[in-house]
Chains A and B, each alone.
Chain A
Amino acid sequence: MTATATAAVIAPAAEAAPALRDTRPLRLITCGSVDDGKSTLIGRLLWDTKAVKEDQAAALNRDSGKQNDLGLPDFALLLDGLQAEREQGITIDVAYRYFATDKRSFIVADTPGHEQYTRNMATGASTADLAVLLVDARAGILEQTRRHATIATLMGIKQFVLAINKIDLINYDKARFDELSREFKEIALSLGVKQVTAIPVSALKGENVVYDGKASMPWYEGPTLVQVLELATVRSAQTVGFRLPVQRVSRPGESFRGYQGTVAGGAVKPGDSVVILPSGMVANVKQIVTFDLVRNAAVAGDAITLVLDRQVDVARGDMIATIDAQPQVGLAFDAQLVALQPGGIEPGKRYWLKSGSRRQRVSVQPSSLLDLKSGKWNRHDGALPMNAIGKVHLSFDEAAIFDAYELNRTTGAFILIDPDTNNTVAGGMIAGKRGDLGGLNNEAERVILSLPADLADKILASGLLSERRDEVDIRRTNPGRAAELLGELDG
């Protein structure tokens, strides 16, 4: 970090500035507790972007009869929608907030910060591309901050904002801001997070949220929170090949047969060769049909109807994929799980697993448990209690189809459903297919590579590597740290 305390951007080298501004909605998650001023921060975002209307503010004032000392409404009331929460003064569930600037619109998953609600944070983080971690400048980085960063990273978030709030209460102390930025940078690096922006904020006074805080903090030359959000990137799942989980088969008449689904990775155009999984049959794409026009290409995120050039057997739950870079198909996979319900996850119990449109039986065997305090994985083969994060082995009766979550957040993600209650009991991320050798390769020689991130992503996407993904260890870091680590080996 430089002495002039700009935005404290850590290791920006790997992320080239996007040539075109991304105008798709940015999904983000906010993490922090009531004490950190989270409701005030979100309220401030909604208020200063004019997402809160006068009658809503009036209803707030009528309900609470109180305003804060700046004459603003009590934002917590605006946000805590459910009566039970208003009565208890706590936030008990994930809520979604919407605001927009003239450049972009935003979907905020607002999650409670209290420890027992890991499940809510995992839920909110599952769709988010960026996490805003909120700390109170007086209290500093807490164990909770590390925990939130760990969960967000695990759920695949790669962009972080550290909002150091209540900076006004420490007299806009630059040295304290620098100290907290540095401290968080250490945590982020240990988690392999590349992109962190630290911002000194007063949510109450509206400084560096939507409007800048230059009047109080002339020393801060970095972006406001909203500026960072406007420039953040949305994951597009382009690193693996074409994926189409088939949701339904459309047969409106004898002459038409189309496979409907949302492209979960890569791109497709007429003429492409595809494979239908798990059957392994091949065909060529004849047409991409949408309501508006017959298209000449479709990319990740598009909801399409695909017509193939020959009669093949395709059903809901199948995956149509590019023939060149196929997902993994197998009966055993390794995954990470977040246990979401009081009953936890029981070893050996048979659950329903749903991923994309595919639902099948699975049995789960835990192997280790994450200690959120230290960030260490400990051996554990018993049940996973609620809010626990564990590594597990998944065993299927019928072939399962996945990509590693690291490569594709759609085809690598799944939920577990308890067949006794029908409730969603876990969210999971695929690490990779479980090799037949099952760790017998341990005595073999190992090679450590240090590669540019884009090259590494390409290699990871290749069939050869993805088949043995569970034998590969990967850590992301910046070039300096990588050089240091290699230096240690040499010495």
Chain B
Amino acid sequence: MHISEFDAHTQDKQVKPPLDPHLKALENEAIHIFREVAAEFERPVMLYSIGKDSSVLLHLARKAFYPGRIPFPLLHIDTGWKFPEMISFRDEMAKRFDLDLVVHTNPRGLKENISPFTHGSALHTDIMKTEALRQALDAGQYDAAFGGARRDEEASRAKERIYSFRTPDHKWDPRNQRPELWNVYNGMIRRGESVRAFPLSNWTEVDIWRYIQAENIPLPPLYYAAKRKFVERDGMLMWAEDKRFEALPGEQIQEDYIRFRTLGCWPLTGAIKSHATTLDDVIAELEIATVSERQGRAIDRDQAGSMEKKKREGYF
């Protein structure tokens, strides 16, 4: 990078008002974690799932290593069931920010045609996400993987460390976690072992949205309300525009203004009815929301403690 480029860049940004102290503190902490992991591990990688948390994570990574490039690749686990708008957004970001992007899909799952409809959400998640992630981490010999998980998301995540230790077969043992004091992180591992690092641990959903607003971070359009086709199934609004979608007997395909609070595989991610078409609208809606963002996620409802179980097995 030439200094002239760097100066031009900073002049562009002079007009932006400073972050409020709360978001600034969260940003500082995340940058600290990024730098520490990048310095301590040989082969870090950043899990990139295209959603709002990943978008914030990516923005923070760019800040942490500025004026340099992000010194590690981004890994996307593509289950084959992501919204098409997510994939085009991913490719656009990779181009715009000159990212080193690795995409992996479980070849076994592809061959066996694993589908959340025919095999159920639990098996689909096992094979296309958890197993696929293990494959990709092994193949890249990554010893540290950044993720965008937040402690406020779900009860088992409230006890997750910022450096979360994993055995060579990617298992998490919640009863035997390393103590984590101050901001001194223990990055010592043996060959084959790894850590998952979570720079957004202390962020809440509201923080994420307020930061996206303050920093003007681009997001996939699915977060904003638009007229989309869907059905109501098991109390969830399921997107119905993919050619693999099949309506069940008695189901009516409806069309209305809907949007998504979280993004995942479309058959497992419920939408909400909403007219929030701008970031301001989304935040206003969030501040009066009475249900959590994971309410739309089928994966959490399989059984009590289902996230903990998945995490023990290596799910992010």
Contacts and interface: CB of A to CB of B under 8 A. Distances in A.
Given A247-B36, A250-B65, A96 B186 contact: no
B26 A25 contact: yes
B124 interface: no
A120 to B, nearest CB: 8
A96 B151 contact: yes
Interface in B59-103: 62-69
Contact of A303 (B64, B154, B204): B64
A248 B27 CA distance: 18
A100 interface: yes
Interface residues on A, range: 35 or more
Nearest to A80: B155
Interface string A251-292: 111011010111000000000000000000000000001111
A293 interface: yes
Contact of A301 (B28, B152, B157): B28
Contact of A63 (B189, B289, B291, B304): B304
Contact of A126 (B3, B154, B182): B182
Interface in B185-233: 186, 188-190, 201-202, 204, 206-207
A290 B202 contact: no
Contacts of B3: 255-256
A357 interface: yes
A25 B22 contact: yes
B32 interface: yes
Contact of A354 (B151, B186, B289, B308): B186
B13 A293 contact: yes
Residue of A23, A78, A262 with most chain B CB atoms under a 10 A cut-off: A262
A352 interface: yes
Given A255-B3, A292-B16, A54 B181 contact: no
B10 interface: yes
Residue of A97, A292, A302, A356 with most chain B CB atoms under a 10 A cut-off: A292
Given A123-B179, A291-B62, A303-B27, 19 more contacts: A25-B25, A55-B292, A81-B308, A97-B158, A105-B207, A120-B179, A127-B181, A248-B35, A258-B67, A260-B65, A262-B31, A262-B183, A293-B10, A294-B10, A303-B28, A305-B67, A352-B188, A354-B186, A410-B182
8 contacts: A78-B155, A82-B175, A98-B204, A248-B35, A256-B67, A302-B28, A356-B184, A427-B179
Closest 5 CB pairs of A and B: A81-B155, A252-B68, A303-B31, A291-B63, A53-B292
